[in-house]
Amino acid sequence: MLAKSPTDWDTKNVQPTKFTYLSVEDGNADVKLYESGENDFVAQLRPGTCKKYQTQFPKEIRNSPMLGLRYYSFLNTDPVLKDIRVRKALSMAIDRVILAQRVTADGQAPAYGVTVTGVAGADPTRYDWARWPMDKRVAEAKKLLAEAGVSAGTKLKFADNTNDDHKKMAIFMASECKSKLGIEVELEAMEFKVLIKKRNDGDYQIARNAWVADYNDATTFLALVQCDSDQNAQKSCKRKADALIEQGNQSMDPPTRKALLTQAAKLIMDDYPMLPLLQYTVPRLVKSYVGGYSNTNSMDRYRGKDFLIIKH
């Protein structure tokens, strides 16, 4: 529990006198507490439940875009995946719209680049083929695999940490690869710390990954794909893009910097180092009498003083 400080410089403008934070690991239990009136705020709804609670609590559902990306890392040095045609084919075959609407079903948006909507410093990139009908995408993907000498029945391994929600996404991805391309994807679930080590060591083929911005600028995402970055699990490298990022960061003119970083992001993504999937949102429940909550807070950071209790 946190209590209002009587000595804070702005104490006269802070309405709540105390905040009680409940440590609840189970998202379903969090909702039950909300329904019984024991809390005013559900931190995050479980995937697939957003529509249900939107019907049950139409005035209390909140779903804000967040500066976060769910993606799968390709090990770019792998004997199969080192061929850009294979990486591109896999990326083309995954239907992100169905993934967002039917699998996660919590308002997340399809993503096709390393930079997400709403981040400062660069525009999000998008592949031209993302607008194609799926049958055209699959035909092109099959052509690319044939050119790369990858035939139906080829096996790939996918490393994932043990989590029911991640598992649903992984099963969908594997099904897409099998049904559309004939690629067999073996799912390997493990503890999160083991997954991190595998990614860091380059001991995988495809691996689950994600990033939530620690500050609002494109460079927090570009670090995921820069040549010498510790965050680059793909072991990919595009020196020309790194040079553009460096040039952009030296520019004192915001539009020039933005153009350079956007160009760098496109150059990197045209090499298909990763498989971007979804941009995070934060679906939650907030009591109607809680004021100060914003649907445009893309960093999802709040101070206690930002909130107030509306008379009810």
Give the mean model confidence (pLDDT) for residues 66-70: 96
Per-residue pLDDT at 47: 80
For 164, how many CA atoms within 13 A lie in the half-sphere containing its CB? 5
Per-residue pLDDT at 260: 99
pLDDT tens-digit map of 11-64: 888 888 888 888 888 888 999 999 999 999 998 888 888 889 999 999 999 988
For 20, residues 6+ apart whose C-beta sits below 8 A from its C-beta are 1
pLDDT tens-digit map of 78-137: 999 999 999 999 999 999 999 999 999 988 999 999 999 999 999 999 999 999 999 999
Alpha helices in the chain (DSSP H): 27-35, 50-56, 84-93, 96-98, 134-147, 164-176, 192-201, 219-222, 239-250, 254-269
Specify the amino acid at residue 164: D
The answer to whether the beta carbons of residues 187 and 174 sit under 8 Å apart is yes
Q: How confident is the model at residue 312 (pLDDT cuts 50, 70, 90)?
A: confident
The answer to whether the beta carbons of residues 283 and 47 sit under 8 Å apart is no
Per-residue pLDDT at 51: 87
Q: Which of 178, 176, 177 is nearest to 99 (CA)?
A: 176
Domain 66-281, second-level architecture = Roll (3.10)
Does the pLDDT at position 311 exceed 90? no
Domain 2-65+282-309, second-level architecture = 3-Layer(aba) Sandwich (3.40)
CB neighbourhood size of 2 (10 A): 10
**Gap between the Cα atoms of 202 and 265, Å rounded:** 23
The answer to whether the beta carbons of residues 275 and 91 sit under 8 Å apart is yes
Domain ranges of the chain: 2-65+282-309, 66-281
- Bridge partners of 159, per DSSP, are 188, 207
Q: Which of 1, 33, 7, 12 is nearest to 305 (CA)?
A: 12
**Gap between the Cα atoms of 160 and 126, Å rounded:** 26
Per-residue pLDDT at 301: 82
* Domains 2-65+282-309 and 66-281 are alike in CATH topology: no
What percent of the chain shows pLDDT beyond 90? 78
Beta-strand relationship, 184-190 and 155-161: parallel
Per-residue pLDDT at 113: 98
101-110, 179-188, 203-212, 265-274: least confidently modelled range? 101-110
Per-residue pLDDT at 135: 98
Per-residue pLDDT at 100: 96
Give the mean model confidence (pLDDT) for residues 253-279: 98
Higher pLDDT, 239 or 105: 239
Does the pLDDT at position 295 exceed 90? no
The answer to whether the beta carbons of residues 93 and 35 sit under 8 Å apart is no
- The average confidence (pLDDT) of the chain is 95
For 225, how many CA atoms within 13 A lie in the half-sphere containing its CB? 31
**What is the chain's percent helix, strand, coil content, to nearest 5?**
40, 20, 45
Per-residue pLDDT at 293: 86
